Structure 1
Amino acid sequence: MRIVNMGEWPLAPEDEGRHEPGGEPLWNESWYYDFVAEDGSLGGYVRLGLYPAWGRAWYWACLVTADGERVAVIDHEAPLPGPGLSVSGDGYTASHATVERFRSARVHLASKELSLDLEWRTEGGVYGYAITPRYEVPCVVTGTIGGVPFRGYGERDHSWGVRDWWSISWLWSSGRLEDGSFVHGMRPNFGMELPWPAFAVPPGGELEHVAGFSAATVFDGDRPSETVLGFPGRATTVRPVAFAPVTLTSPDGKVAEFPRAMCRFESEDGRTGWGWTEWHQPPGWRDHLWQPSQQA
């Protein structure tokens, strides 16, 4: 298994566990797990975010289908989890476990709306960010959803540090193409040029950093309708199929919108696939679009 360390903090197996909290009000630690069926018929994601300074956690679990159905468990007042990253709230219980560090993780959710028992198995390697303590892991995803067998693909990530949802906008996108390639790209919504986190995994191969990543989005009002991910030599267009958004309110009342969507991916050479994309929209986000001339 290849581990690509882009930052100044080489990843260690212990990084799969919890980290000592910082003292900042917006310090948080989060784990994401997303998935899409092989045929794009359904997909979903889970996020557990710990906010020690607030004395609580955020828990999100969403499932969408290609024909527009959506179910979700959203709890912004969950208690901070104990050992094993287990949380519970009104009508749900959930657990999130590392089965084998950097190789396998498992999520279980039981609720009135949605039940999941899924495993994320690493495919191609682990990618450590350069600009924040975080890593992403492309995966094969198997298990059951509502008791029905599931097989698909997705990504999981883990990050820790200060995250200000109400001041910084960003785009994040991750998908798998039909030939077995994985692609991933992320960039904050400001003009500074940095080594933005981006990687690709060739079919059956190992993860490699991709330099020169860019992104341009067309919006219909506030809703994204298309994004072109600029991987040098292989641009990929992503189009939302089903949205699973979340509204985020800060302790002092600021509101940010988080329109996350299951997307169809299409490479300029004709390969297609599926994945997830998010376009984070804090207050004033339109003032900092990378290419505002491309708005609809």
Structure 2
Amino acid sequence: MGVRLEPQDEYLHELGPEPNFNESMYFNLYDPGAGLGGFFRLGNRANEGTGEMTCCLYLPDGRVAFMFKRPTVTSNDALDAAGMAFEVVRPFEELTVSYRGKVVLLDDPLAMAEPRTAFAENPYAECEVDLTYRRVSDMFGGEPDTPHERPGEEFARGHYEQLVAGAGTVRVGEDTWTVDGFGLRDHSWGPRFWQAPWYYRWLTGNAGPDFGFMASRVARRDSDDTRGGFVWDEGRLHLCRSVEVRTEWTGEDSYHRAVEAVLTSSERQWRVRGRVLSLIPLRNRRTGPDGDAMVTRISEGMTEWTLEDGRTGYGLSEYLDQLVDGAPVGVAE
């Protein structure tokens, strides 16, 4: 199966006919000097007349500053909604992220497991974000030349990722930080239901400009499905066809607190161990074809990674699980 990726893919694609057509970009970042990290996402779901905007900042004092909105979106002309905007300056080389709006300040980020209560009972602050992201690694991914998703289980027709360096300013209330760190960005387009995977584990990390990785493990309801990712090591992108993930869980709600991942390419193997510094659980709901509510939990963990040679890196560990009787389905693995 071939994969196509061209500079034009950095821009928005023609709106597809599917009711659940989604086009989205995502950026994460962590600056260990400032002790601040976060992620930003915009998704257009124009055929549904809506979008998805997420701003999440892990603050140095342990709080999380968070906002999610569903703005009205009726076209796929730009990723610019609800105070957030992404701009491509140079394809594959430089992009910008900006946000102007409110965030809710969470002393206990786990409170977002009940979003209505969390938004009602916690204070708000004004937030400004201005970041410039520049290329670190080669590109990974693109759009396959043959369909690779089963009908009804679509998540992204095209998808690519890249390790990046990010720098700029973040203001929350009266506090302002100058940040200069590393992260990962992605871009997806095509039909998407958050309920398509049974569960997945998506791990990203950077240890400076010379090392970074992405590990993905996606499970379907009726099969083991896919494992893969990449390692960026001393200027070379290594494709990994094998990914093993082990998780330590905590609490009655089973949130991940520690992760060990082994990524294997055709030439060598890398092992990374992660410690979750802060975690916020997010939620997506949809009514299924039978009328029953389908609930998806996405646990976003800002994570400190330790490499086998002792180097330290940072990134996100994102755990998506469908909830059945209130419990995440992937805990047993």
Same-fold status (TM-score > 0.5)? yes
TM-score, scaled relative to structure 1 = 0.86
Match of 1:197 among 224, 228, 231: 228
Paired residue type of 2:177: V
Aligned residue number for residue 280 of structure 1? 320
In the alignment, the residues of structure 1 paired with residue 3 and residue 203 of structure 2 have an alpha-carbon distance, to the nearest angstrom, of 23
Query: Which is worse superposed, 166-175 or 76-85?
Result: 76-85
What TM-score results when the alignment is normalised by the length of structure 2? 0.77
Tell me which amino acid in the other structure corresponds to 1:106. T
- Shift in Å, 1:66: 4.8
Whether contact under 8 Å (1:38, 1:153) holds in the other structure is no
d(CA) in 1 for partners of 2:246, 2:129: 34
| Partner residue, 1:158 | 187
Rounded to whole Å, the distance in 1 between the matches of 2:210 and 2:8 is 30
Residue matched to 2:207? 177
1:262 and 2:291 matched: no
Structure possessing the higher relative contact order (Cα contacts under 8 Å, 6 or more residues apart): 1
Q: In the TM superposition, what is the alpha-carbon distance from 1:8 to its structure 2 partner?
A: 2.7
Match of 2:136 in 1: 123
Indicate conservation of the 8 Å contact 1:96/1:106, yes or no. yes
Whether the aligned pair in 2 keeps the contact of 1:81 and 1:87 (CA below 8 Å) is no
Tell me the equivalent position of 1:109.
Answer: 99
Q: Distance in 1 between matches of 2:50 and 2:196?
A: 21
RMSD: 2.4
Report which stretch shifted further, 226-235 or 93-102: 226-235
Deviation digits for residues 87-124 of structure 1 (CA, Å, limit 9, x no counterpart): 13xxxx22110010011110111113321000110102
Aligned length: 280
Q: Unaligned regions of 5+ residues in structure 1, if any?
A: 1-6
Bigger fraction of residues in strand: 2
**Which is greater in Rg?**
2
Structure 2 distance, partners of 1:16, 1:141, is 18
Q: Secondary structure at the match of 1:281?
A: strand
Q: Which moved more, 1:68-77 or 1:128-137?
A: 128-137
Q: Give 2:168's aligned amino acid.
A: G
Aligned AA (1:99): V
Match of 1:76 in 2: 70
Separation (CA, whole Å) in 2 of partners of 1:114 and 1:245: 21
Instruction: Please say if 1:136 is aligned against 2:130.
Output: no
The aligned counterpart of 2:113 is none
Query: What is residue 207 of structure 1 aligned with on the other side?
Result: 237
